[in-house]
A and B are shown apart, each in its own frame.
Chain A
Amino acid sequence: MLRINLLLLVAALLCALGVVTSQHKARKLFQTLEAEQERARQLDVEFGQLQLELSTWATPPRIEKIAREKLRMRTPEAARMLVATRAPAAGEGRP
């Protein structure tokens, strides 16, 4: 009788310790999860900011300014345009 009681006592103690460690582990993991989720939110915010930055850099007025001033690009005159048709018949390649 005493043996069984002792055995049960040891088992109960082990279970109790198990509960404690798993609870501890769960909290640790939960904290990591929280941290990762926070990081995900941060990255999301950063993504939004980068998207904003991208669209600020890519506004048509800025592109036109650079194209015209820095790269010295311009719209070709009508005389220098060539229209490619799907089935170019003779003499129609250059309208």
Chain B
Amino acid sequence: MMRFKGAQAHRFAESPILQLRLPGWRSRLMAVLILASFGVLIGRAFYLQVLNDAFLQEKGESRYRRDLEISASRGRIADRHGDILAVSTPMKSVWAIPAEARLQPEQSRQLAELLEIEHKELTRKLSSDKSFVFLQRQIPPDVGERIAALKLPGIGQSKEYRRFYPTGEMTAHIVGFTGVDDKGLEGVELAFQGQLLGRPGSRSVIRDRRGQIVEDVGSIRPPQDGRDIRLSLDSKIQYLAFSQLRQAVAEHKAKAGGVVVLDAKTGEILALANWPTYNPNNRDNLTGAQLRNRALTDTFEPGSTLKPFTAALALEKGKFRFDSVIDCAPGRLTIGKATISDAHPHGALTVAQIIQKSSNVGAAKLAATLPAEEMWAMFDAVGFGQAPRLGFPGEVAGRLRPWKSWRPIEQATMSYGHGISVSLMQLVRAYTVFARDGDLIPLSLTRSETPLVQGMQVFSPQTAREVRAMLEMAVQPGGTAPKAQIPGYRVAGKTGTAHKLESGQYTNKYVSSFVGFAPASDPRLIVAVMIDEPGGGRHYGGDVAGPVFASVTASALRTLGIPPDAPLQVANGGNARERL
């Protein structure tokens, strides 16, 4: 009031309020504050839009955009005719997040029943303190749907592939199997893992509120299914080989056995069977003995099946002819401190008869004329001492010692297949030199589209033909394996009966083998049979392995439609030479 009164002293237009001057810093402060807050806003905008853009964009997209994985299936494995040996089909795996899975007793009982597990087991899994547990892996898709229909909290499913092997134990060793995560663990599944494995693709999509895909955004990476593998195997021949082997092992109470059937023209493996075997669809309680692919991973001393190689080298070097006579009496030969003996003593034998009657003394006498280096070079050339390079896991090279360390007695025993170890696969491959005209061919596990093979000449065609004639005599009356004859076909082959070597000592256990081919006039099939530790009294290769060879080869020849090359009456011995 006092001030107002005082104002009357001035003119009306000159209001003292208007004249009052604010201190200048106040307006400047305001301006700075306002500018500063703009600065903060701009800074924040910069932070959000530029610095933190990627993170926020992603967060935003994650509300509607989903990256989906498009699964790719593993390639199929088929035999040469396209019959399926291994195929993947989608299955469901059921998992739980135990912290979220609070089930009513009734619900968990239902779930346990569908999963085919014990109710106690399920409760134990659900009460574990892990953040994620698999309840059951690889259940059929229809069961998966029924579980999904229960709408249980904290229980989910994911898609998985399961491998099925319709031919089961019959082809177990060659096909192998995969682990639960689609990784090949054995056999072809492991050897061809790179080709069989598919590459999953991916796509990003926009999903609407109901979870339906509205549109694709971004690029789609298409899935790449694994390549199908076509093996050289013929499942009919495989079955014949497998069932005959199983029967023979049971009949002779043997420990194990193996059969390999090879196409002599192309080097393709038509059958590879081992016993004991396993069911790849149900691999509980597997033992190492069941898993081993003996034909490739086990070596044995082949015994007399190597004699034809010694004879061939002797013929090749011109030291002997088909009918050169060698004195094998009295069935014993002493070299240094050791004595070699024949199972049945023979007198004078021709080279052909040494093979026919399988004389150890004769083979040793042939070898005595050959330098160790040449013998080693020949064994090396037919593939002993080196892995067959099939690309198969675990294939072994066998044992062929360097020739410089050979003592004379060792060279003599090697001439009839002791002191050297080979796998059945190596043995069957080496016999291609006799089944063909002296050349060794590479083997193949897969079907070859171009059946032209490049062989490596080891013996001259003439030598190969002569040895073939000797091998034909071996299965005729007077030979060691008349039981390997096949009505209607000319057959050639050689028996082997070898003492087993255990911790450096020869034991009274045997490995009986037979390697042969048919039809002898134009060999198509090479079949090798090995029976490990035959019991029950008989152990000669001709008695144990010979009949297996005959039945497998006879059925395989019929299956392949190979015309008979001999009259159906069993041919008489001794005239093999005329048919050369």
Contacts and interface: CB of A to CB of B under 8 A. Distances in A.
Interface string A38-58: 000000010011011011101
B350 interface: no
Interface string B231-244: 00001101110010
B36 interface: no
A48 B87 contact: yes
B166 A59 contact: yes
Interface string A15-59: 000000000001100110010000000000100110110111011
A60 B235 contact: yes
Nearest to A56: B166
A45 B89 contact: yes
A30 B203 CA distance: 15
B83 A55 contact: yes
A81 B90 contact: no
B166 A95 contact: no
A27 B180 CA distance: 39
A34 B568 contact: no
Given A45-B89, A81-B568, A61 B243 contact: yes
B297 interface: no
A61 B239 contact: yes
Contacts of A59: 166-168, 170, 235, 239
A51 B87 contact: yes
Given A54-B84, A55-B87, 5 more contacts: A30-B215, A60-B235, A61-B239, A81-B488, A81-B568
Contact of B84 (A34, A52, A95): A52
B40 interface: no
Contacts of A55: 83-85, 87, 166-167
A54 B238 CA distance: 18
Given A30-B213, A95-B568, A51 B84 contact: yes
Nearest to A44: B73
B215 A52 contact: no
A78 B485 CA distance: 13
Given A59-B166, A95-B564, A95-B567, A48 B243 contact: no
B331 interface: no
B526 to A, nearest CB: 21
Interface in B71-108: 73, 83-85, 87-90
A83 interface: yes
Interface of B: 73, 83-85, 87-90, 141, 164, 166-168, 170, 212-215, 235-236, 238-240, 243, 487-488, 555, 563-564, 567-568
B214 A27 contact: yes
A62 to B, nearest CB: 10
28 contacts: A27-B214, A27-B215, A30-B214, A30-B215, A31-B213, A34-B213, A45-B89, A45-B90, A48-B87, A49-B89, A52-B164, A52-B166, A55-B84, A55-B166, A55-B167, A56-B166, A59-B166, A59-B170, A60-B239, A60-B240, A61-B239, A64-B239, A81-B488, A83-B563, A83-B564, A85-B563, A95-B564, A95-B567
Contact of B568 (A48, A56, A79, A85): A79
Nearest to A94: B568
Contacts of B564: 83, 95
Contacts of B488: 78, 81, 83
A61 B236 CA distance: 9
Nearest to B79: A55
Contacts of A31: 212-213
Nearest to B564: A83
Contacts of A52: 84, 87, 89, 164, 166
A63 to B, nearest CB: 9
Nearest to B73: A48
A79 B567 CA distance: 11
A95 to B, nearest CB: 5
A57 to B, nearest CB: 9
B89 A58 contact: no
Contacts of B170: 59-61
Contacts of B236: 60
Nearest to B235: A60
Given A59-B167, A81-B488, A81-B568, A48 B88 contact: yes
A1 B239 CA distance: 92
A64 to B, nearest CB: 8
Contacts of B567: 95
Nearest to B570: A78
Contacts of B213: 30-31, 34
A95 B213 CA distance: 73
Contacts of A54: 84
A85 B565 CA distance: 11
B568 A58 contact: no
